[in-house]
Amino acid sequence: MNFFKSADFTGQRPWDALPIATIEGASVKLHWSDQPYIWHENDGAEVFVVMAGEVVMKSRVAKASGDWDVREQLMKAGDICHAASGDHHVAHPLGPARMLVIEKVGSV
C-alpha cells in the first residue's frame, strides 16, 4: 500500500502532477498549481477534487451567435466536480492549490 499526503506535494511549476495510480484506463493524479490551466475539453469523463486551497472552475457552452456562455463555480477543499466528455472547462486556482484529478489516460 502507498500513502500520500496532498499537503506535502508542491510541483516545480504550475500543474505538475504526482501520478498516484492507473486504474482500468483511468489515471489518478495529484496536481499542484497556483496558475490557471488552459481551456480544454476531455475525450472522456473527468472527476476533479479540490484537496487544499480554492479553485474557480469555469465552464462554457457555445451560443447560437458563436459566443460563449461562461459559468463559474467556486470550489473549496473537499468539493468535487464531474466534467462529462466534451465539457469545455478551465480551472483557476486562487493561490496555491492541490487537486486530485481522475480521467482517461492520455487526456489533456
The bridge status of strand 80-83 relative to strand 68-76 is unpaired
When the pLDDT of each residue in the chain is averaged and rounded to a whole number, the result is 94
Quick: pLDDT tens for 68-106: 999 999 999 999 999 999 999 999 999 999 999 999 998
User: d(Cα 84, Cα 7) in Å, to the nearest integer?
Assistant: 28
Quick: pLDDT tens for 34-47: 999 999 998 899 99
Domain 13-104 top-level CATH class: mainly beta
Whole-model pTM?
A: 0.89
- Residue 7, SS3 per DSSP: helix
